[in-house]
């Protein structure tokens, strides 16, 4: 934990990300007393401060609706100012320098497209504004291993690693952080959390909508770059890592250990799909082979997980909207006593739900009343019902950036390994197969996990 920042500068404050995520999060931090410093918004639009206040007010009112406290909103707006201009114009940075006069530890949050944040960072450095500052950038960090390395080389020439914060908003989700606490704060799980008892691991991110409204962006990215290389691999590391101990960097070190133990993905064990009608979405190139679904098999070659297959899938226009991790325990053997014969019933699954219906499910097999067999039952907990609503991901991540806590921000060595893992699928991508909307992707994807009980379908 470092020193608390004394100013926050938000580039792209008039954009969609700031409107839907950043501004509501800053209101929440004001309400909690976390954000007490000036906030300077930077954007291309030529707005006066009062016009910026109206823009922010509308965004926060839309997000908070019935829970809005106008005194808190007014307090936040009293600290908010705006600087408009071209991010390539030296005059903008001179105005920013004037606005930051007296600030010793500012945070620059670049809520702008990755294609532009490098140039903005270089201009900040040239103006001498990054000398003692923290720099926060959004994902994706590069588009492949080579571009990510080059981007990192140029950024770390401007600001050192310990002051560079790369956002992966999945790591700011409360249910994602719950994975570590559920694993390491309960004696129930650790004894079976290894190859001796685990049959397979599944990670599913299903979205029941398409890319309408984002066609031009998505067509350059695809499912692998959009959610697998970052979100889903980071979540997998929390499921598979060793218990952290020691200093504040131990979580990052153990996540890195997981990735360094993972061989690169094999295109022969991967499936790419595209839902029917994707090519008709506005912004999508004719004949595009961008995947809207990807499924793959991975392994972790270490003492804990050797021989345990890991199946990852993510897709658009799936039957449900859900994200979950399944740790599937090995089947018990057939049971015989006297004239009784109980066949092996199936798999016990430990399920972490990290989507909207956040919680945990454990599946068990219990005796069927009046019969000598079993049926599946579930032990289920809803985090919202049991624990109440937690902070949003941007609320948590911006808090940590202001306070200098780096634990939830992926380090460069971690990001480099995740790009290394998926790079073979970018160099030699499997052919794209069409699938119908509302299904679980191409038919061939269902065969990936068939030998291990098949995919568990989120409810």
Catalytic annotation, pick one of 53, 231, 269, 340: 231
b/e per residue 155-185 (b: at least 16 CB within 10 A): beebbeeebbbbbbbbbbbbbbbbbbebbbe
Count Cβ atoms below 10 Å from residue 436 Cβ, excluding itself. Answer: 12
Please tell me the number of Cα atoms within 13 Å of 262 on its side-chain side: 31
Cα–Cα distance between 45 and 40 in angstroms, integer?
A: 14
- C-alpha distances out from residue 385 to 27, 186, 388, Å: 25, 20, 6
Q: What is the DSSP letter of 96?
A: H
Cα–Cα distance between 75 and 186 in angstroms, integer?
A: 42
b/e per residue 214-237 (b: at least 16 CB within 10 A): ebeebbebbbbbbbbbbbbbbbbb
Name the nearest CA neighbour of 86 among 119, 43, 52: 43
Active site residue 340: no
Name the nearest CA neighbour of 93 among 118, 122, 56, 53: 122
**Residues carrying an active site annotation:** 231
């Amino acid at each position: 934990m470092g020193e608390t920042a004394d100013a926050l500068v938000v580039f792209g404050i008039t954009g969609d990300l700031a409107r839907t995520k950043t501004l509501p999060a800053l209101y929440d931090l004001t309400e909690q007393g976390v954000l007490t410093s000036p906030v300077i918004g930077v954007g291309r639009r030529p707005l006066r401060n009062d016009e910026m206040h109206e823009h922010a007010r509308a965004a926060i009112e839309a997000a908070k609706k019935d829970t809005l406290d106008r005194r808190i909103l007014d307090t936040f707006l009293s600290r908010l100012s705006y600087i408009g201009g071209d991010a390539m114009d030296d005059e903008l940075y001179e105005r920013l320098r004037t606005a930051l006069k007296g600030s010793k530890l500012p945070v620059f949050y670049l809520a702008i497209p990755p294609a532009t944040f490098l140039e903005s960072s270089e201009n900040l450095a040239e103006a001498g504004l990054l000398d003692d500052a923290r720099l926060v950038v959004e994902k994706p960090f590069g588009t492949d291993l080579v571009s990510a390395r080059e981007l990192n080389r140029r950024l770390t020439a401007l600001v050192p690693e310990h002051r560079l914060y790369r956002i992966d908003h999945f790591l700011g989700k409360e249910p994602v952080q719950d994975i570590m606490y559920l694993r390491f704060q309960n004696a129930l799980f650790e004894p079976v959390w290894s190859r001796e008892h685990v049959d397979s691991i599944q990670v599913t991110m299903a979205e029941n909508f398409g890319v309408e409204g984002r066609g031009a962006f998505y067509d350059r990215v695809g499912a692998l770059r959009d959610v697998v290389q970052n979100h889903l691999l980071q979540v997998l590391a929390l499921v598979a890592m060793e218990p952290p101990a020691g200093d504040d960097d131990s979580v990052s070190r153990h996540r890195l250990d997981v990735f360094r133990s993972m061989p690169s993905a094999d295109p022969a064990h991967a499936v790419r799909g595209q839902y029917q009608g994707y090519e008709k979405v506005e912004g999508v190139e004719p004949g595009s082979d961008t995947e809207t679904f990807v499924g793959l098999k991975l392994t972790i070659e270490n003492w804990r997980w050797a021989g345990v297959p890991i199946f990852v899938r993510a897709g658009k226009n799936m039957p449900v909207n859900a994200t979950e991790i399944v740790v599937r325990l090995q089947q018990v053997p057939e049971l015989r006593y006297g004239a009784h014969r109980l066949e092996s019933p199936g798999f016990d699954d430990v399920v972490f739900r990290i989507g909207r219906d956040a919680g945990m499910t454990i599946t068990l097999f219990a005796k069927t009343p009046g019969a000598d067999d079993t049926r599946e039952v579930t032990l289920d907990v809803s985090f919202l019902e049991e624990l109440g609503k937690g902070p949003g991901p941007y609320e948590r991540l911006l808090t940590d950036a202001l306070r200098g806590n780096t634990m939830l921000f992926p380090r460069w060595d971690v990001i480099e390994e995740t790009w290394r893992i998926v790079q073979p699928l970018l160099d030699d991508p499997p052919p794209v197969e069409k699938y119908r909307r509302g299904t679980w992707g191409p038919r061939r994807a269902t065969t990936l996990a068939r030998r291990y009980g098949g995919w568990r379908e989120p409810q």
